Structures are given as C-alpha cells and as structure tokens.
Structure 1
Amino acid sequence: MDPDLDEVLRAALPDDPRELAILWRNRFLQLFDHLPLPIAVCDAAGRILLVNRALGIELGVLPGQLNGRKILELLRPQGNRPLRPVVEAVRLQRRSQYPIEVLWTAADGTECQGELTIEPVSDLPDEGPKLLLWLRVLERSTAAPTARPPERVSPIEARILAAAARGATTAQIAREVGLTAGGVNYHLTSLTRRWRVPNRTALVVRAYITGVLAPGVWPPSPGSADSPSG
C-alpha cells in the first residue's frame, strides 16, 4: 500500500477497537439499507431480525415494523414442503443456498410471485445460526383494481422527498433545492400532515408506494406522480 495512503487511513480511523467496530457496523448498516435488492436477516425460526428499505417498500411496511415477524407469513412459500432442505441445513450447520417460490401482496395490492433464496450463515460460535434471505421478483399481476391513486405533489416536494430518500440531511436538502432549512422543514411538515404519517421515514415509504418516487431506481428520483398539488 502507498505509505501516504496508509497514513491517511490510519489518521481517519479511531484507535479504540470498540469505536472502530461501531464505525464499521454503522457503515455496513448504511450500505445494507441502501441496497436495491430486498434483503432480510432472520433467526433459525424465521423471525425477522433486520430488513433493508427495499424489502420494506416491497411489502409496504416500515422496516422497523417488520422486526420479530415471521418472514414466511409475509412471503408465502409454494410447493410441497419447500422448507425441508433449509431445516436440514440449519440442523447440520451446512452453508448453501436454497431458493423457494413465494407469493406475496405488494403495497399497492398487486399479487406478486418471486424467488426467495435462503442461506444459513454462521455467526459467533456461542450463538445460533442466522438466515440470510433475498427476494427476486419474477411476476406481478397486471390487474390492481384496489391500488391507491397516485399522490399529487409539487415538483419541489418531489425533489425534497427524493433527497430525503437518499438520506440527505435537512441542510443538504436545502442546498440542493435552493431553499432555507426552514423552507425544507415547512414542506416536510406539510407532507407529514397531509399524508398523516409520523416521520420522514414514513414519508419516503409512502412516496414510493404511491409512485411519487420511481420504484427500483437509485439514486431516488421523482416518479410519474410528481405533478402540482391542487
């Protein structure tokens, strides 16, 4: 490694091993949350320990509200005893990937079919195994008669929501859209009251669900619903 680069890296990282562990944990969680592929981590019984934003958006639920729920109550396995190989792998502490066909109802009421891949992963020796799961969408039904009509927002509101979805701070959003921090907070508060949601995270989830933000796109950008409010 270049000595100068090595010196810069050493200066940027904390000396305390605990602080270093916290730093890398936070960086991992930030990366995990921004991955476009829907991912979850569960215990051996299938109870959700951690999900990323993409899976929360797919199911129309805030990620934190999924903690503790059974993943296979949300993503319904198909076929005859599809989980038998997974159960056996957990019992024998094998590491391999096990794809199963699942069905679920998306946030807009659309019935979806996909492939859920389950991989048992090792953790600390004195703890039980964990399951890493990722979802691949294969098919969505074309008819969604109960889908909610798109929200109507102003262009500036759409830009603010897109920036918030990227994790930008209020100050960063203000610089990006050309408003003061107070102006950004005004729009966020207005949207929170109008959509009857509790916080900024819920705003972002609803913006994806209703088409204000384009699904499956990174970095986040306004979708087809970013038309002026009436």
Structure 2
Amino acid sequence: MSDMGLSTLLERMPVSWWEADEGLRIVNCGGGAFHDPGTAQRFVDSLGGTADAAREGAAAEGRSGIDRRQVRFGGRLFDVTSFPGRLAGDGRGGVSGLAVDISALERGRHGYAAFTDFADFAPAAAFIRDAHGRYLWANHAYAHLYGTTPDAVIGSSVTDVDAPEDVATFQTLDRQVLSSGKPVRHTIGYHRPDGSPGRAVGHRFPVAEGGQTCVAGIYIDITDYTLALSRRRAAEEDLQALSEHSGLPCALLSPGGRIRRVSASAAELLRVHVPDLLGRPAHRYLAPADDLAGLRHAWRDLVNRRWRRFQTSAVFLDARGDEWRARVLLTAVSGGSRRARGVWAVLPHHTLPHPPLPPLTAAQLRILTLLSAGHGNNEIAASLRLSRQTLDYHLARLRELLAAPTRLALVSRAYVLGILDPQAWPPRSAVGCRPAGPC
C-alpha cells in the first residue's frame, strides 16, 4: 500500500499520527481521531517533554527510545506510542507518534466490572468450577448456602465445600455438561451445613475461563418454597378430607360470592350435583327473606376484612323448590391484600326441607317465642296488649300455617321449621345475624 493509501485509510480510523520538530511543533499529521491540526497540536502539547526525555534516555543507554503509555485527552482515553526521529527516517531531529482511541475498550471493561458486581451480589447462587472440581469463582449467595464467604469457597475443591453425599452427584453433572457442551436446567437436592435437606432450581452450563472450559451454575434456593408448598398441599388434602368425610355441609366462596368448592353433603341438601354447583353464584340458592339485607352487609364486612367471622342464619332453596333454614358460620380466608381471598361457609345445623311458608308477622313471631317459653294465653295477651279474641285469631292462623293442631305441636313445628333458634334461651326468632369475632 502506498503512503497516500495508508494515510487515507488512517483518516477513517480513531487514530492520530504526527511528526514534530525538536520544539514539539507538528510539521505533519493525520488520522481520524482529531478533525484539525490545532487539536492534534494541543494533544501533543499535553504529552509534555515525555518524547524528549525518552529520546535523551535512549541516546544515553543505547535503546530505541520508544515510549508507550495511556493518556486522557478531551474526555477520551488514548494508547500513545512515541519515538525519536521522523517517520521519513532522514535523520533530522524531532519526534513521531501514534495515538489510538481506546475509549470504547475502557467502557467495555467498566460494563464488565459492573456486571461482575451485579453477579457478586445477585440473590441467585452462582459459581464457576474447573474440570477438576476446583472453584474459580462463587458469589455471596452461593457461599451463604454453605454458611461461609466467597473467599473461603474460591480455590477450594467441591469435595471441601459440599456434603460427601452430594459430591458424586455434582461431579457427574459437571462431566455431563463438559462432555455435551450444552446447558442443562434442572432441580437438584443438596445438604445444608446443619445436615438439613435443601432444594434448588437453575442452570448449569459450560463457560470459557482462563483458556479452559469450565462449568458454571446459577441456582435459586427453593427449599422454603417447596416446604411451604408441601404444607399447603397437605392442608388442602386435610381440608378436602374433612369436607368430604365429616358430613358437614360447607362451601368455599369467592369474594364475588361464586362457589369454588362444595362438600357432597351441601350438594345433597340443595339436591344438586357437585359439578353443577361449581362456579355458580351462591345467592341463587337463598330464598327471599327479610334478613337478606343483613347478610349482604355481613358479607361486605368479611370480604373487606373488617370481620374475621360472622354467624347468621339463612333460608335456602333447593332444586325442588323446598325451603330449609340453616345456621351459617362465615369465615374469611386471609390473603396478602386488603380483601379476603375467599369465604368459607359452614352449616353446622339445618332444619328439614319444607314447602315455602308465607312470612310471619312480628306479632306471630312474638307469640311463638312466648308459647315456647311456657306462657299461658292470658300472659301472652297481656304481654302483647292483645284481646283474647285477637290472640285466639293469631293462634288459629298459626296452627293453619304450620299444620299444628295443638299448642305443643305448634312449638315443635316452629323449631323444626327453623322459625325459632334451637340454640337460644329464652326462646327467640332464628331470623337475624350477628358477628362472631373481630378481624
């Protein structure tokens, strides 16, 4: 290549070359690092008397006088080579030099250093081992798994760090990766320093390190997650067994009131198959009643976690159109958010199914409670400020509605049909709900 061709090539590259006289004044220059001779002159001036010192030292010691160093100029880093004499080699005094812009390489090194810092303190455990099982590098998360520090791991062997029962497995995995040259994703078991078992999931893959092929691995410890998952699965199995085999009617409802899970006994009460209940709104199986407004209010308190439990009673409607009243215990299922993940509904007591009854008046409910408490007609009439004729009318109407010919039958039917609360004394109406405990 001619000198002209070489000069044209250098004009397109991030380099600068120059020839300067003994006073370091540029007499010839080129390259693409600087756009004008004035900038090139300032660059040479920034080098100071280095070139003269090199030339004088070389003359005294019989060396070539070549000086190599790195210099920052204008926010960039240059690799500079300067030497005595002109490029033409005509013997005239002066100095020549070549500067290569290596700023991009420096940025690359800084990026690699930043990545190294990131890897050192990443929460995932990572390591590099050579083919002989010697640790070349390990981060803090990996050392933490073994209760030590990275400095104690690096340089040691896998036989020194890992439990004896794990070494053979790890060495086999290393050999598989080195022989195949392909990464492997898997879940492995290991033993912690205290002897307890651990589980980790991640990748093991080949890397080039120090001129040799090594094995690198990066893993996330899932021991606690696996244990929590196992406990949750066991709890769900226990709950499933309880709901299926205890005979207790119960259902898990979503915050929106849809049926997620339901026991066979609850499905039997509703006379609907279990699969046909899943996903359906639970309110479809509630009979119209005056106390539904209180139930809806209680539901909002449970879902918004203002209450943890709520006890109430409700009238249900089965597939045949019959009604039955049940005591309902609603319990919110806690979640990570402000709203409950769901609500368990348990029916510890329920009445027999019966055709729908017309709603009873407040006076009729009061008469039934006083009758069940053992009061006579005169006491009931005086308590309600009714005439005997009016009381007799109410009693006759109640016997007709409940199909009960006597006072004793009237009280019994009131309990069987769920009109009166079977777990309360003095007797009271089963209609109504109340909180059973704060959130």
Q: Which bracket does the TM-score occupy, shorter chain normalised? A: 0.3 to 0.5
- Per the normalisation by structure 2, the TM-score is 0.26
Task: Give 1 or 2 for the bigger CA radius of gyration.
Answer: 2
Which protein, 1 or 2, shows the higher relative CO under an 8 Å CA cutoff with sep ≥ 6? 1
**Which one has a larger percent strand, Structure 1 or Structure 2?**
2
- Per the normalisation by structure 1, the TM-score is 0.46
